[in-house]
A and B are shown apart, each in its own frame.
Chain A
Amino acid sequence: MNAADPIIVLTDVYKFFGNFAALTNVSLSIRRGEKVVLVGPSGSGKSTLLRTINRLETIDHGAITVNGQDIYDPKANLNRLRTSMGMVFQGFNLFRHKTALENVTMAPCQVLKMDPVEADKRGLDLLHKVGIADKAGNYPAQLSGGQQQRVAIARALAMNPDIMLFDEPTSALDPEVTHEVLDVMSAWPARA
């Protein structure tokens, strides 16, 4: 695939919650390596749009293509597709019964069947990159919001995704620690 080809294409996407139209006629195309920021008031459908790309929400009309594959094709391997998309949530959503390191290594071990030792090594490496390797053994409840979000970013990166989806990663954080997360995000090589 050519680097200039769009990696995510949305055409005429509609999404409803009951009778409330969350997305109306959204079309969008993002190229590999591009960083796109969605801005809008709350309730304008930014999160919904991101979630439809990951198929956490289904759409009612239109089409979404990721890496050249229609994700609403019933034959699409959704789990494989999702491994190529990392998502970071507004509310972190770390696995609360696992330590920071286990949070990062769990998906590679379970989904990619990676060797646990190697996964640990990679996990520590990732935690080091986001600057919290010393908290590897802590449970999410023992970490601050900014630290939790950085673990969440490391967790998403552990799957080596082509696409990273950030759903308001700093909105649940104090303004003082927002920069921790933003630094990590901007330091990462440019991807979608």
Chain B
Amino acid sequence: MTLPYKKRRLDKALSQSAVHPEPAIQIEMNDGPAIPRKTDPGLYSAWKFVVIAAPCLYIYLATYDQIAALLVSAMPGLGESWGWLKKIAGPEYVNSYRDAFLFIMPDGFYVTLQVTCLGIGVSIPVGIMTGLCRVSRIRIINLIASVYVEVVRGIPLLVQLFYIYYGVASIIRINPFMAAIISIGFCYGAYIGEVVRSGIEAVDRGQREAAMSLGFTPFQAMRHVILPQAIRTILPPLGNECISMLKDSSLVSMVAIIDILRRGREYASTTFNYFESYTMVALSYLFITLILSKGVSLLETRMGRYERR
């Protein structure tokens, strides 16, 4: 079994003794939304403050004229001494915040959530496939997945959206909604692919070795030992990606899809109440992301329970 090139390598190796180089220290950076963890007290109390303040502001802005009307009807003297209160409570007063909210409310919310959910539905299967291909030892598969990730991550989502909506759609007919789902799904598929890859790589190498030593095939080892453990580490960052996706779904308003932002813009351009309209748009997104980020932190705690000793 002596092979000439191995013999050469052997001689070379025997003649010199090299020390293994230390791996460079890596710092994990995450661009996801801030998750309120108890280990980060500043952020945790900030989250508690915002989660109370934002909905209160939201409700107050939507109903302040009705609150004023209630006050005036309950205490008529108050309306007499404070003229402005009487004005707000009066029938001819228009609360632009509530108008904007009602304009956004039913279908804007629905479309934003629909785009997000379908985007998640596309990007998670794509992401898992990409992640598996990225850890593949078969070079060509790994290469294809890596090229996909590099290309998609190097192009802004808005450009991808335009590319599919205007570029590709000029060659084959795609309806706007499909174009939006495809571009969001495949864009986030690449990001989720990287999350899946790092999750798989984070599973201790010994787990794979133990499985192999018991006679598992590589496929069985992946399916029964590595993936079930990787999913636990993946879930919280996956939740982060979903929140990011919800925020980035506002970009689809650029391609004639009537989501929250689009409705807000329509309201603003017809009434010129830009401030009121965009305030409600911003609060709407904040409200949803706050709830979701709490959901992710709960998920993290649940998942972490089995890991700690």
Contact = CB atoms under 8 A, between A and B. Distances in A.
The reply to whether chain A is a binding partner of chain B is yes
Interface of A: 14, 16-21, 24, 54, 56, 60-63, 72, 79-80, 82-83, 85-87, 89, 91, 93-97, 106-107, 110-111, 139, 141-142, 152, 155-156, 159
B207 A61 contact: no
15 contacts: A21-B10, A24-B14, A54-B212, A61-B6, A62-B1, A82-B214, A85-B213, A87-B213, A95-B211, A106-B214, A107-B214, A141-B306, A142-B309, A155-B210, A159-B214
Contacts of A60: 6, 9-10
B207 A95 contact: yes
Residue in B1, B14, B209, B215 with the greatest tally of chain A CB atoms within 10 Å? B215
Contacts of B3: 61
Interface stretch (B34-42, B145-153, B222-230): B222-230
Contact of A93 (B6, B13, B20, B207): B207
Size band of the B side of the interface? 35 or more
Interface string B90-117: 0000000000000000000000000000
Contacts of B220: 110-111
Interface in B3-34: 3, 6-7, 9-10, 12-14, 16-20
Contact of A156 (B2, B9, B20, B214): B214
A106 to B, nearest CB: 7
B3 to A, nearest CB: 8
Contacts of A141: 306-309
Contacts of B204: 91, 93
A109 to B, nearest CB: 9
Contacts of A17: 20
Given A20-B13, A21-B14, A141-B309, A96 B229 contact: yes
Given A20-B18, A61-B1, A141-B309, A79 B10 contact: no
A110 B211 CA distance: 11
B294 interface: no
Contacts of A142: 309
Contacts of A156: 213-214
A86 B212 CA distance: 10
Given A16-B9, A72-B1, A89 B209 contact: yes
B228 to A, nearest CB: 5
A79 B217 CA distance: 6
Interface in B202-261: 204, 206-207, 209-217, 220, 224-225, 228-229, 232
B229 A19 contact: no
A69 to B, nearest CB: 15
A21 B214 contact: no
A141 B216 CA distance: 23
B5 to A, nearest CB: 10
B232 A97 contact: yes
Contacts of A91: 204, 206
B13 A19 contact: yes
A72 B14 CA distance: 23
Given A24-B14, A93-B204, A107 B216 contact: yes
Contact of B225 (A62, A72, A95): A95
Given A61-B1, A61-B2, 20 more contacts: A16-B10, A16-B13, A19-B12, A19-B16, A20-B18, A61-B3, A61-B7, A62-B1, A82-B215, A86-B213, A89-B210, A91-B206, A94-B210, A96-B229, A97-B228, A97-B229, A97-B306, A139-B306, A152-B210, A155-B210
A155 B214 contact: yes
A158 to B, nearest CB: 8
Given A21-B14, A61-B1, A93 B206 contact: yes
A91 B220 CA distance: 22
Contacts of B308: 141
A95 B223 CA distance: 13
Residue in A63, A79, A94, A152 with the greatest tally of chain B CB atoms within 10 Å? A79
Contact of B215 (A89, A96, A152, A159): A159
A82 B210 contact: no
Contacts of A86: 213-214
A156 B13 CA distance: 35
B215 A21 contact: no
B216 A79 contact: yes
A89 B3 CA distance: 32
